[in-house]
Amino acid sequence: MEAKAQMIQEQPKRPMSVDPRKFNLWLFMATVVMLFGAYLSAILVAKAEAGWAEYQLPDSLWFTSGIIVLSSIFLQLAYRSAKKDNLSTLKIYMSITMGLGLLFLAGQYYAWTELVAMKVYFSGDNLAGSFFYVISGLHGVHLIGGIVYLIIVFVNTFQAKVHSKNLNRMEMCATYWHFLGGLWLILFIFLFVNI
């Protein structure tokens, strides 16, 4: 009888545990989505107002969009290398990812110079131009944060702190970088359709 009573007792449930740093990252990304969502909503509202002058987005943005996708691919390859403890390949892929991230930023700056050549300025009568500068600049700031994170993970690879048994930082870096790449593609498509 006692054995039967012990079998009936419920085992205490283990609470679900999430790494607090990962939780904070996801919370931060949700905040970023809301921020950009507010700007995109503002574009739709402002488009109906006076002072909205449409213009063609610079062609270089197609190139930079391809670069951000490539950087995500190389970072995913770096992550797979870390899982397999292939540290030499990990370092190469991380270097390529950082280089592509910097190239993306340079391409965004070049797009701004193209806009200036088309007489589309940050301030002035054209709200559409102002929105583009704000959105692309804000995304650039977040991307600089992502590059800093890439550099931290890159340095950790040389200190043998990134490997198959210690992937947390690498996973968070990849999550944030993929998020930034996906966010840019959504922003670019939205701007392409609405500006």
CB 169 within 8 A of CB 106: no
pLDDT in tens, 107-164: 999 999 999 999 888 887 778 888 999 999 999 999 999 999 999 999 998 898 998 8
Q: Which domains does the chain have, with CATH numbers?
A: 57-194 (1.20.120.80)
CB 81 within 8 A of CB 90: yes
pLDDT at 49: 78
Cα distance between residue 7 and residue 27, in whole Å: 41
CB 148 within 8 A of CB 64: no
Indicate the pLDDT class of residue 12, thresholds 50, 70 and 90: low
Q: What angle do CA 150, 27, 163 make, to 5 degrees?
A: 35
pLDDT at 17: 75
